[in-house]
Amino acid sequence: MTATIRAEQLLAHSPARVWRALTDPALLSRWLMPTDFRAEVGAKFTFDTGQWGKTRCEVLEIEPGRLLRISWNNPPLDTTVTWRLEPEAAGTRLIVEHAGFDLADPRQAFAHEGMRGGWAGGIATRLVELLTDAD
């Protein structure tokens, strides 16, 4: 059985500002983790996940200002992460989906449990702090 982590947050910032935080490598490195990201379909890049090593990624889909989908490969994980931005009131609803966890694999089930709290908790908090600090 595969599982998906889904986290949603209403941000008090414009979609353009949130998009920049998702696609500017310097900003992405500040709130998520160090990266050599490039916002181009097909671009390969890494995230430095510290004790878990390097996560190899590729940009799979971009709709500027609306959607970013990447592969997320750090064995045993071979998953995808999708960020969707939806304008709402004076801000942006950010929806994150991390999909493809095989819960029958104990290592992936462990990663799913840890990342579930991360996407909805600490990672979301760091993004809000970055966006607020830039005000």
Share above pLDDT 70 across residues of the chain, in percent, rounded to a whole number: 99
Domain-wise residue ranges, the chain: 2-133
| Residue that wins the pLDDT comparison between 11 and 121 | 11
Q: What pLDDT, in 10s, does the model give residues 37-82?
A: 999 999 999 999 888 889 999 999 999 999 999 999 999 999 999 9
The pLDDT of residue 45 is 98
- Identify which of 92, 86, 35 has the alpha carbon closest to the alpha carbon of residue 59: 35
The CATH code for residues 2-133 is 3.30.530.20
Q: Note the pLDDT of residue 31.
A: 94
Q: What is the pLDDT of residue 135?
A: 55
